[in-house]
C-alpha cells in the first residue's frame, strides 16, 4: 500500500524524502481524542503542482482510511548540489 503511494509521489513529483515519524493527538470528527504516529513525507514541487498534490492527498486519505492529512505549503529556498 505505502509503496504505491510512494510510487505516485515519485512519478508525479520526481522524488520525496521521509522526514521521520511524529507522534500526535487529534480531535476526530465525532469529538473523540485520537493519538497516533504519522509518517512525515517531504515533497518539493512547483506551485502549479499544488492542486495535483491536494488531490493525491484526498486519494491517500481514502486508501489509508484517514479523516484528514496535514498538508503544509511552505515557501522554500534551496538547491541540490552535486560533486562537480
In the chain, where the domains are located:
2-64
The pLDDT of 56-82, averaged and rounded, is 93
d(CA 58, CA 54): 6
d(CA 35, CA 27): 9
Q: Give the 3-state secondary structure of the chain.
A: CHHHHHHHHHHHHCCCEEEEEEEEEEECCCCCEEEEEEEEEECCCCHHHHHHHHHHHHHHHHHHCCCCCCCCCCCCCCCCCCCC
Where residue 23 falls among pLDDT bands split at 50, 70, 90?
very high
Model confidence at 75: pLDDT above 90? no
pLDDT digits (tens, 9 = 90+) for 54-68: 999 999 999 999 999
Predicted model pTM: 0.86
Where residue 80 falls among pLDDT bands split at 50, 70, 90?
confident
The pLDDT of 45-58, averaged and rounded, is 96
The pLDDT of 19-45, averaged and rounded, is 95
Amino acid at each position: 500500500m505505502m509503496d504505491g503511494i510512494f510510487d505516485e509521489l515519485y512519478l508525479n513529483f520526481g522524488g520525496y524524502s521521509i522526514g521521520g515519524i511524529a507522534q500526535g493527538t487529534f480531535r476526530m470528527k465525532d469529538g473523540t481524542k485520537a493519538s497516533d504516529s504519522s509518517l512525515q513525507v517531504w515533497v518539493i514541487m512547483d506551485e502549479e503542482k499544488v492542486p495535483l498534490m491536494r488531490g493525491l492527498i484526498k486519494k491517500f486519505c481514502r486508501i489509508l482510511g484517514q479523516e484528514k492529512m496535514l498538508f503544509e505549503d511552505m515557501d522554500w529556498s534551496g538547491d541540490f548540489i552535486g560533486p562537480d
